[in-house]
Copies of this chain bind each other. A is one copy, B any other.
């Protein structure tokens, strides 16, 4: 199938850093320094990357795959953040040398660059470009978190589902079938509800022009859907990660 990958898959930590878009403005020797003692790790489906309350030993850069960040109490788990590559996993904990507040678990398979925490802190603390890049990354994560909170607190289950699906089929001409990007149970947890509620509510959403059949969504009535489910850029908008451009005096 994939005869022509967009670019070579990184096989060393250094290559992985070089391919990370939001590190573009960071000088090569700074990346060298980060990569110095780093390793590129393949993580199998379902593994836990770190545990709540652990003190970070590494800064973790997610190069490919998805990671769930879960709040844990006893046996209970609830999703707090869903991380897409490429991104840092909870940089705040690493920067402040404080314990992780969440458990990280990968979906599917993931690749991670593991950078010594101390190396990471020192390099950030001595290089402005990197510091700005990390700041932009952290800022974007913060805003995503706020959007997530707003989604949960301001919308009902039905609206959350409707908007989620609408975003997926946005732009396609009505009738085009689109595959769901995740298993339903994962979508449910991202939207802050149980599997059962998700399943049930799909039926009522269908009555507003968005039909889900198996793992395929299909917009049946754009007008009806648009009336019932209003996408809000301050909730549903994509959060870009753009470091501030430096003006050298």
A residues adjacent to B (C-beta < 8 A)? 52-53, 71, 73, 76, 78, 80-81, 91-93, 95-96, 98-99, 101-102, 121-122, 124-128, 131-132, 134-136, 138-143, 145-147, 149-150, 153-155, 192, 234, 240, 242, 244-249
Cα of A36 to Cα of B16 in the assembled complex, Å = 42
State whether A53 and B91 are in contact (beta carbons under 8 Å apart), knowing that A125-B246, A131-B131 are contacts in the complex. no
State how many angstroms separate the Cβ of A118 from the closest Cβ of chain B: 11
Cα of A102 to Cα of B237 in the assembled complex, Å = 14
State whether A80 and B150 are in contact (beta carbons under 8 Å apart), knowing that A95-B244, A247-B122 are contacts in the complex. yes
Nearest B-chain residue to A146, judged by Cβ = B101
Tell me which of B52, B91, B98, B242 contacts A96 (CB under 8 A).
B242
Nearest B-chain residue to A192, judged by Cβ = B153
State how many angstroms separate the Cβ of A23 from the closest Cβ of chain B: 15
Nearest B-chain residue to A148, judged by Cβ = B149
B101–A147 touching, CB < 8 Å? yes
State how many angstroms separate the Cβ of A76 from the closest Cβ of chain B: 7
B154–A234 touching, CB < 8 Å? no
A132–B138 touching, CB < 8 Å? no
Dominant secondary structure of chain A at its interface with chain B: helix
CB-CB under 8 A from A121, the residues of chain B are 244
> What copy number does this chain have within its complex?
2
State whether A234 and B52 are in contact (beta carbons under 8 Å apart), knowing that A132-B125, A136-B95 are contacts in the complex. yes
Tell me which of B134, B140, B141, B154 contacts A135 (CB under 8 A).
B134
B101–A140 touching, CB < 8 Å? no
Nearest B-chain residue to A76, judged by Cβ = B154
State whether A124 and B244 are in contact (beta carbons under 8 Å apart), knowing that A71-B149, A101-B146 are contacts in the complex. yes
Nearest B-chain residue to A247, judged by Cβ = B122
A101–B132 touching, CB < 8 Å? no
A139–B244 touching, CB < 8 Å? no
Cα of A126 to Cα of B136 in the assembled complex, Å = 14
A78–B139 touching, CB < 8 Å? no
Given contacts A73-B154, A96-B240, 9 further A-B pairs with CB under 8 A are A52-B234, A78-B154, A96-B143, A101-B150, A125-B247, A127-B128, A131-B131, A134-B135, A153-B192
State how many angstroms separate the Cβ of A109 from the closest Cβ of chain B: 26
